[in-house]
Amino acid sequence: YRPNSTKKRFKVVMAAGVLLVLFSLVAPTVGRGITSVILWPMVKVGYWWNESTALIPHYFKTHTAAARRIEELENQMLEDKVGHLTIERLRFENGSLRGMVGEGSGDRVLASVLLRPNQVPYDSLVLDKGRSSGVEENAPVYLADDVVVGFVSRVFKNSSVVTLVSTPKLESTVYVVGPNIYTTAVGVGGGILQIGVPQDIALNVGDMVILPTIHSGVFGQITHIEKDPSAPEQFGYVSLPVNLNSLYLVTIGRSSIEPVDFATVEDIVSRVKTDITTTAVPEGMLIEIPSATSTAASSESQL
């Protein structure tokens, strides 16, 4: 019968522990000496690693410090980027508020957004202004000065419901600046319109899209294009300049949208395109060719 090996090992360990305790009590000086002999190499290596300027420890310490500094700089860059985005958002909101107020023009009603998509079904907004503030059905709703987002579909005493032009399957006549074409845009939800045109028309990301049936009705820019070489058409997607979830203030036109003829639409498109490409320059700062000089040059070219 073989003895239990576990019990045997336990007895050996216990005996060694008892002997070690007795030895430390009987000969403490010898114990400290043995301990110092064992720990001295470790202390020496630690001092060499931390204080020495030799090649190996210096290389590893420099590498560690450089990696830590790189991490700090990356974190700083991330913080700066977040701060820059915050500044740009605040600047856009400040410009939007200035455009909304209109410096006392009186042709708009400033309204706060109470509910937005994901809080209400479809692409809709609920505003805090209604009939008591002069809001009418079918009045246009703007973001900033000229970016149209939809129209008032229902009016109550102190609130109103806005149907966004990006409501799924809602069709709108639009004008695309760039290829300079009229086409039909279809809402796909989420503040996005889809434009389908033949493949041979040059659509580009950044092309401005105008809703000419609404006065000063700029909707946004083409942000994405889908092309399938085997399909006869391509699709451009237009989104609002701000996310619907961050939409807090809009303005409402005081009059309803009225049907317009094509001549009026052409005039609106021409005016909006001019507003997009030009700006008011203070007198004395705009350099132009004098009219007399240009007339004389024209006459000489004809001779």
Confidence at residue 12, expressed as pLDDT on a 0 to 100 scale: 75
Structure confidence at residue 98 (pLDDT): 55
Q: What percent of the chain has pLDDT over 90?
A: 19
The pLDDT score that the predictor gives to residue 92 is 56
More confident residue, 290 or 187: 187
Percentage of residues in the chain having pLDDT higher than 70 = 64
Choose the weakest-confidence range: 69-83, 114-128, 161-175: 69-83
The pLDDT tens digits of the residues spanning 228-262 come to: 888 889 999 998 878 888 888 888 988 888 787 78
Cβ proximity of 227 and 199 under 8 Å: yes
129 pLDDT band, cuts 50/70/90, is very high
SS (H, E, C) the chain: CCCCHHHHHHHHHHHHHHHHHHHHHHCHHHHHHHHHHHHHHHHHHHHHHHHCCCHHHHHHHHHHHHHHHHHHHHHHHHHHHHHHHHHHHHHHHHHHHHHHHHHHCCCEEEEEEEECECCECCCEEEECCCHHHCCCCCCEEEECCCEEEEEEEEECCCCEEEEECCCCCCEEEEEECCCCEEEEEEEEECCEEEEEEECCCCCCCCCEEECCCCCCCEEEEEEEEEECCCCCEEEEEEECCCCHHHCCEEEEECCCCCCCCHHHHHHHHHHHHHHHHCCCCCCCCCCCCCHHHHHHHHHHHHC
Which structure tokens are listed for 262?
Answer: 């094509």
pLDDT at 198 over 60: yes
- pLDDT exceeds cutoff 50 at 294: no
Checking if the pLDDT of 1 tops 50, the result is no
What is the per-residue pLDDT across 80-121, written as a single tens digit (0 to 9) for each?
665 655 565 555 555 555 555 544 456 888 898 998 887 887
The string of pLDDT tens digits covering residues 265-289 is: 788 778 776 766 665 666 666 666 6
